[in-house]
Chain A
């Protein structure tokens, strides 16, 4: 049972445009959500997170939106840059789970110059 789903394995956008990466979850106990960026043969790098008490968190070009009723979150990157090309993982944790993260399978973002 996959509790965190990233249904788009890949996404291609033009430089300067908006990239929207989506993530759905099924476990209503999740209360903390994170996005990681991963280059090949490297460890994931933390990008941005959001608590379930918020519906939006912004950090520079990155904004995460959370829709709890739909159990859906999205990562917006504006403007997209070629250096943003990487695999993006959505992850979630639930209070009392010893901070264990459940990851989606990732979405490969390609930003074309």
Chain B
């Protein structure tokens, strides 16, 4: 069976500090990978998605970036965090094949920028 891991679970960072959140998927190959953010009182906003190693698409302009150094590893980064980066960050995966595929989410990382 497939599992998706995210770490850390919780992170408190000062404004201006760097960020690195990691997501890994087990039990599948060539997944589509996604980063979402849920800000307080809002829905899930897609930040990045990746259809393969080194292939990253950005959905919204921001000071965040994403990388996919390995097939089942997806990293969300920032060089300098802003207060507005606080939120709940979710990684998700889906199978590559098929026009209608369900996305499965990881446990999330709660980020608080002070």
Flag the segment in A13-21, A57-65, A70-78, A97-105 that touches B. Answer: A97-105
Q: Chain B: which residue is nearest A53 at the CB level?
A: B100
Please state if A104 and B43 are interface contacts (CB–CB under 8 Å).
yes
Chain A window 59-98, contacts with chain B (Cβ cutoff 8 Å), 1 for yes, 0 for no: 0000000000000000000000000000001010101101
Please state if B100 and A51 are interface contacts (CB–CB under 8 Å).
yes
CB B2 to nearest CB in A, in angstroms, measures 12
Q: Is A43 an interface residue (CB 8 A)?
A: yes
Categorize the interface residue count of chain B.
20 to 34
Q: Is B103 an interface residue (CB 8 A)?
A: yes
Flag the segment in B12-20, B60-68, B73-81, B104-112 that touches A. Answer: B104-112
Q: Write out the residue numbers on chain A whose beta carbons fall within 8 Å of the beta carbon of B102.
A: 34, 46, 49
User: Given A42-B107, A43-B90, A43-B107, do A95 and B46 touch, yes or no (CB 8 Å)?
Assistant: no
Selected A-B contacts with CB under 8 Å, 30 pairs: A32-B99, A32-B100, A34-B102, A41-B88, A42-B107, A43-B6, A43-B90, A43-B106, A46-B102, A46-B103, A49-B100, A91-B44, A93-B100, A95-B99, A95-B100, A96-B99, A98-B32, A98-B49, A98-B57, A99-B32, A100-B34, A100-B59, A101-B34, A101-B46, A101-B103, A102-B46, A103-B43, A103-B45, A104-B43, A105-B43
Interface of A toward B, CB cutoff 8 Å: 31-32, 34, 36, 41-46, 49, 51, 89, 91, 93, 95-96, 98-106
